[in-house]
Chains A and B, each alone.
Chain A
């Protein structure tokens, strides 16, 4: 029995000062329901990471169901740090696949601008090991910087080895009307920009932002044969976890959970990695994009950056990534990111990506990460 994505919706990503968390979620839900021709969901799965800390609001399932005119339905939050959106999709997939739910609504939402600066940093740092990482004043950004330094040390790569990732993401963001950044990076700017946390610079990290994205899932047979838009099939779905703490890993440059979940999702779909037409990966930090390509088996260890350097990750390359700007240029609404990635992959598979269209896109790999692949959620999507 096939689970399909029947509708997609998203808000623009950025600073939504005048919109509350519930309104933001509702905008994406409305768009997805209109797109799906009014399918009525019986269950709502909310992907969110920070609302209890940043907005003082937990219990988002009922909050959003109630506000969206869906009072009474099954509804709850799925939290897995930056992978919350992907994990919520997984929950929706399982609900439909099991046969208990005919139509599931998945919404990823994050509203960061209810707080600013250090308060947001400490909210985000709650995704680390509180007793042994966050207590030392470490943040996810600092972790990424330490991984990046070690990557450079072990593989002896050039100082600007990772430049191709933000350059590609920003080039693709230009064509995405929902993206936060819609300007290409000028050549040579990467090398001159300021450091955030050495050796990680301002272009090596995605910007935090508000945003909401939603998808409606159902069984293929519940969709009329002549339905428009064309549904997209979830052919593979997998979540894997690693150690929570980075320091507990035998090899911090091995994104083991990412590797395992890609393997499982591809196996379920019966598609080998080399057949994928594009890969929406977690480029929240440019070194994570390199490590994700390596974990997926698309590059040898220490060689992920070469795909960027050689332009193989661009829209017309061998394995396009971040096709609508990625986390880097679209922006990073933490718990919503995994749903944005899926919405963008569906745009590609429907042939609705406009100037960003990947030619003949039929098979997509989509992956979001919580922390440095402490949680990895991977889905394989195919055009029906």
Chain B
């Protein structure tokens, strides 16, 4: 059980809260307090839109302990529209082939069951699903 750790990370995990650098405007996720672009301090919170596109992906069959119940599952590197990339599972992709460049959006889902069985503390966090298509304007 690692409850304090997951509680500490809940802002990042539930809402993609990162940082914006007050010096060079770089958007930072995960938060790291030092801007990777200019090296200055960056502690201003910034909430990402949750929209991005698939940079690469794969399907995992040999899952680590705690994730076997979900296998096979698809993981991806997602390039957020604000710039940074995140590692995340894809979800709700049953009827759709995944492709590099596919637009996706963030949702909050169960990531794993903490501990050796499902009675342990659950860990929730971001996953990404295919972006809902915008309804086309009626032609007539």
Contact = CB atoms under 8 A, between A and B. Distances in A.
Nearest to B73: A137
Interface string B48-69: 0000000111111111111110
B36 interface: yes
Contact of A149 (B9, B30, B58, B60): B58
Nearest to B99: A153
B102 interface: no
Contact of B59 (A117, A197, A246, A248): A197
A197 B64 CA distance: 14
Main DSSP-derived SS at the A contact region:
helix
Main DSSP-derived SS at the B contact region:
strand
Interface string A124-155: 11000101111111110110011101100100
A197 B60 contact: yes
Contacts of B66: 118, 122, 137
Contact of B65 (A118, A245, A252): A118
A142 B77 CA distance: 11
Interface residues of B, number: 35
Contact of B64 (A125, A132, A149): A125
B64 A118 contact: yes
B30 A121 contact: no
B62 A141 contact: yes
B128 to A, nearest CB: 10
B58 A136 contact: no
Contacts of A138: 60, 75, 87
Nearest to B36: A248
Interface string A149-165: 11001000000000000
B111 interface: yes
A119 interface: yes
Contact of A137 (B9, B56, B63, B100): B63
Nearest to A243: B36
A132 B87 contact: yes
B88 interface: yes
Interface of A: 117-119, 121-122, 124-125, 129, 131-139, 141-142, 145-147, 149-150, 153, 196-200, 245-248, 252
Interface of B: 5, 9, 30, 36, 55-68, 70, 73, 75-77, 84-89, 100, 111-112, 123, 125, 127
Given A136-B87, A142-B58, A150-B55, 6 more contacts: A121-B63, A146-B77, A196-B61, A198-B59, A247-B85, A248-B84
